[in-house]
Amino acid sequence: MTGSGSGMTGRYLVLLEDDAVAEGTRAMTRLAGLRTVSTADAAPAATVAELLGGADGVVLHELGVAIVTAGADQADGLTRAVAERGAIAGVEPERTVYALAPTAPAAQRESVDESTFTWGLQAVGAPDSTATGAGVRLAVLDTGVDVEHPDLAGRNLVTSSFIQGESVQDGHGHGTHTIGTACGPRTPDTGPGYGVAYESDIYAGKVLSDEGSGGDGGILAGISWAIANGCRVVSMSLGADIEPGTPHSRVYERIARRAMGRGTLIIAAAGNASNRPGEVAPVGHPANCPSIMAVGAIDVAKQVAYFSSGSVDPGGQVDVAGPGVDVYSSWPMPERDNTISGTSMACPHAAGVTALIAHRYPQADPWELWARLGQTARRLDVPSVDVGAGLVQAP
C-alpha cells in the first residue's frame, strides 16, 4: 500500500461541524480571509485541483470539509477558531498519499492449485458462497481502471477522475489490480478466477495519479462521490506511513463516521512499512482511524506478511486480514494480468467479502457489515495485533 515516506502538500484540511457548512464557510472568510467555492455549486466533473485554481479553498459540501491553500497566519486564524468551538471543528495539513507495493521479493510460497481460482479466493471461501455481490455498489479509490480491459467487459462500471489533467484510465496498474480482486471475474478467458464480488456494480474513482500518488483532498472528494452514488463499500489501498504514536486524522475519522451514517463503510489497507520479524510499523494513515476498517496481509501459509503494518500502541489497530502475498489479478492491457504483493492486495479481498455480505444482508447498515465481517472471520494462529479478528470469510 503505502510509499516509503510521507509528506505534506502545503494545503490544509478544514473540518466543519455537523450541519454547519454554511456557517463554517463564512467563518473561514471572516477569520482567515479565504475565498472558497463549494462543490454544491460546481460542475459534477470538476476536480478539487481545478476548483482551487480560482479560489483559496474548496468546500466538499456533502462531507462538511474544506481543502484550502492558506498562509501561516491564515492557518493560525483557523486554528484559533477551533479553540473557540465554533463552526470549525479541526484543521490539519493535507498529506500526500501513495499506492506502492513492497519492493523486496516475497518469501517462497507453498505450492497451491490456482488452475480454477486464485489462492486468495480460496482462502476467503468465495467460490463456496452463493453470494455474488449483485446489486451492491462497490467503490475502489485508487489509480483508476483500464476501462477497456476485456475481463471487465459487460460490467456496470461507473468512473470519475479526481486528478487534474488525467482521465480515469489507469496508467499505473495498481487500481486495475485492486478492482480486479474486489470485483473482477470468476471465469475470465485466460487464467484463474480472481474476483470476490464478481457481480457487484463497480465504481472506479481515480484519486491517485499515474505516478501512484495524490493528496488527501482528492481522496476525500472520491469518498464524497462514492457516498453520493450510494456505494455501500469503499475500498482504499492507499495511504502514508506514520511514526509510532502519531495520532489519527480527526478529519478522516469524522468523515468516516459521517459516511457510515449515510450507509457507506470505508475499508483501507493497513500499510507495508514493517520488516518482520525485527520491525513492526504502525498502521498507516488513514487506516489508523477507528472508524475505518484496517486490513493486514497474510500469505498462503496463513502467516502474517513480512511487510504488513500492525497494531502498535499507541496507534491504530488492524481489524481484519486478507490475502496479500503473490496475488494474481487484472492489469492494464496489453499485460492483462499481474501478480504482486501488499496490504493493497489484502484490502480489496476484504472489501469484496463485505460486498458479498451486503448482498446476503441487503438491509444491513455499515455497523452490521463491520460486525458480521469480524464475527465470521477465520481465527488464525498468529497474534491478533497483526490480523485483528482474523481472515475474512465469504458468507
Catalytically active residues are: 142, 174, 344
Cell of 311: 497494531
Rounded Cα–Cα distance for residues 319 and 295 (Å): 6
Residues in Cβ contact with 175 at an 8 Å cutoff, skipping those fewer than 6 apart: 99, 140, 142, 143, 144, 145, 204, 206, 208
Residue 19, sorted as left (phi over 0), alpha (psi -120 to 50) or beta, turns out to be: left
Rounded Cα–Cα distance for residues 308 and 294 (Å): 11
Rounded Cα–Cα distance for residues 102 and 343 (Å): 9
Rounded Cα–Cα distance for residues 169 and 210 (Å): 9
Rounded alpha-carbon distances, angstroms, from residue 100 to 8, 156, 332: 18, 27, 16
Rounded Cα–Cα distance for residues 141 and 46 (Å): 17
What residue spans of 212-331 are helical by DSSP H?
A: 216-228, 250-261
End-to-end C-alpha distance for the chain, whole angstroms: 26
Name which of 217, 215, 319 is nearest 270 in CA terms.
319
3-state secondary structure of 2: coil
Facing residues of 329 across strands? 338
Residue 243: how many other CB atoms lie within 10 Å = 9
Cell of 113: 492449485
Q: Do the beta carbons of residue 123 and residue 391 sit within 8 Å? A: yes
Residue 285's identity, in one-letter code, is H
Rounded Cα–Cα distance for residues 202 and 222 (Å): 14
Structural element, H or E, at residue 76? helix 72-83
Rounded Cα–Cα distance for residues 24 and 338 (Å): 46
3-state secondary structure of 278: coil
Q: Do the beta carbons of residue 299 and residue 106 sit within 8 Å? A: yes
